[in-house]
Amino acid sequence: MSVSADVKELGNLIGGGPAPAASGRTFAKLRPADGSLLCRAARSGMAEVDAAVAAARAAQGAWAARTAVERGGIVRELALALRARRVQVAELVAEETGKPLELALGECDAAVEMGFFAAGEGRRLYGRTTTSSMVNRTVLATRRPVGVAALIVSFNTPLPNYAWKVFPALVCGNAAVLKPSEHTPASASFFGELCRELLPAGVLNVVHGLGSEVGPPLVEHPDVDLVSFTGSASTGRWINEHAGRRLAKVCLELGGKNALVVCDDAALDRAVEWSLASAFSNAGQRCAAASRLIVFDGVYDEFRERLVARAREYETGPVISEESLDRILGALRGANVVVGGARLDRPGWWLAPTVVEDVPADAELSCRELFGPVTILYRVGGLDEAIALVNDSPYGLTSAIHTASLHRAMGFVDAVEAGVVVVNGGTHGSEAHMGFGGVKDSGTGWREAGVETLDVYTEWRYVNLIADPTLT
């Protein structure tokens, strides 16, 4: 298989072939680690979206006509091809995002696992049979593809972001237009190239470009049946309004302001390590990042001391762009910074792991997702106060509690407003077989990954069979 060694000018993938932007325009992609130019990519707009949606529409019927088992088999081949190139693609991801290679390798492995999981669903894709009030009638519920899917994703973990949507969408019989983040065109082109070699033309199309230029024509396109989006709540809200006007199916996986609670009976060393990893891994650019640490009064000072000492030596990558760094630094202005809070003196967009305290629960900093290596410490008197603070947020994605008490843990599990709850661990995300998603501003009720994802990429059809038409 040939994946182009020259990634300097990346075209779209439309109808099985490479295609530059019709305008000839490109945008620059810089390396976050030092600000140097990594590549340029097609700066697409309405014309490319039209072409990609038409290609997907043309390919979808024949793709859906294959059996789900066969589609799953092809997705398994895709996963194997990705695994065979894990080092190459992880190096590309590390370069385009600035994250450590180890992290990028782990993300590639997670994407591969999603391929295997989704492939297996091709052999299940279970429906149901049900009873009827009428004799002589058999009723089946079967899954059908939605049609043409627009898959719009964030930059933060590019390979899992593609895999979480593309693999189940394809197994379910949809054709798709993938709109990757403008911050990760290199990994998207690599992924598109793998797909080009293994899929029929047009089943997966990749359209590069700026969100404000490619997003709206894709979301508003009358021939797009499903918009599946992972990104910020503000973009998600825009998408929901605009796709909603034409009553398209919309799945939104949005942000978080996730809380990790440390009780006075917690194993403190463990709680510190999970807090660091939850807050700062991937430079805090995780929807599941612990950006709020809520600590019982009795252990607050000791926890704070240990956390700050470890945060000083914690190594994480840069944030994705200069704009993102400026935004985070702006949000920190005037805050009581305990450690970090400053740009590192080196090229690129590096922010020291940052801990802040004395922030009121209703302050902008407490409510807004920063998507960077910043976490806030809060002091609480007990569990009820902790739970109230966890829930005093516009978001409800993930949450965690550290305690030795099963009673406290179960009280937390019951009362917390979040799609994921972890006891004695980090505010981490999903595995391929586990549904993932949140409540409130973190989503609109869908779950991705797990068998739950099949509900996003299929529609139920209820089939009534009357075996003997002569019977009444």
Catalytic residues: 253, 287
Is residue 231 close enough to count as binding ligand NAD by CB under 6 A?
yes
Which H or E run includes 360? none
| Least Å from the CB of residue 312 to ligand NAD | 26
Binding characters for ligand NAD, 380-419, by CB under 6 A (x = yes): -----------------x----------------------
Nearer to ligand NAD, 219 or 262 (CB): 219
Choose among 255, 320, 269: nearest CA to 93: 320
Is residue 293 close enough to count as binding ligand NAD by CB under 6 A?
no
Could you say which DSSP state residue 281 is in?
A: G
Is residue 175 close enough to count as binding ligand NAD by CB under 6 A?
no
Nearer to ligand NAD, 31 or 179 (CB): 179
Among 20, 256, 341, 372, the residue binding ligand NAD under the rule CB under 6 A is 256
Is residue 230 close enough to count as binding ligand NAD by CB under 6 A?
yes
| Least Å from the CB of residue 155 to ligand NAD | 5
| Least Å from the CB of residue 160 to ligand NAD | 9
Among 64, 109, 201, 232, the residue binding ligand NAD under the rule CB under 6 A is 232
Is residue 349 close enough to count as binding ligand NAD by CB under 6 A?
no
Among 371, 378, 412, 457, the residue binding ligand NAD under the rule CB under 6 A is 371
390 within 8 A of 290, measured Cβ to Cβ: no
Could you say which DSSP state residue 443 is in?
A: B
Instruction: Give the C-alpha distances (Å, rounded to integers) separating 181 from 80, 178, 333, 466.
Output: 24, 10, 28, 50
Among 155, 190, 191, 274, the residue binding ligand NAD under the rule CB under 6 A is 155
382: amino acid identity, one letter? G
- Describe the chain by its helix, strand, coil percentages, rounded to 5: 40, 25, 35
Is residue 156 close enough to count as binding ligand NAD by CB under 6 A?
yes
Instruction: Compute how many residues bind ligand NAD; rule: CB under 6 A.
Output: 27
Is residue 253 close enough to count as binding ligand NAD by CB under 6 A?
yes
Which region among 45-53, 114-122, 166-174, 175-183 touches ligand NAD (by CB under 6 A)?
A: 175-183
Is residue 216 close enough to count as binding ligand NAD by CB under 6 A?
yes
Bridge partners for 402 per DSSP: 262
Q: What is the CA radius of gyration of the chain?
A: 23
| Least Å from the CB of residue 266 to ligand NAD | 26
Which H or E run includes 309? helix 297-313
In the structure encoding, which two tokens stand for residue 373, read together? 């290596």
How big is the CA angle at 354 (ends 348 and 357), to the nearest 5 degrees?
Answer: 155
Nearer to ligand NAD, 254 or 328 (CB): 254
How big is the CA angle at 350 (ends 33 and 390), to the nearest 5 degrees?
Answer: 125
Is residue 251 close enough to count as binding ligand NAD by CB under 6 A?
no
- Describe the strand order of the beta sheet including 354-357 as a list of residue ranges: 336-339, 354-357, 374-380, 290-296, 258-262, 398-402, 420-423
d(CA 397, CA 395): 6
Is residue 215 close enough to count as binding ligand NAD by CB under 6 A?
yes
Is residue 254 close enough to count as binding ligand NAD by CB under 6 A?
yes
101 within 8 A of 64, measured Cβ to Cβ: no
d(CA 149, CA 57): 10
Which positions touch ligand NAD (CB under 6 A)?
Answer: 152-156, 179, 181-182, 211-212, 215-216, 219, 230-232, 235, 238-239, 253-256, 287, 369, 371, 397
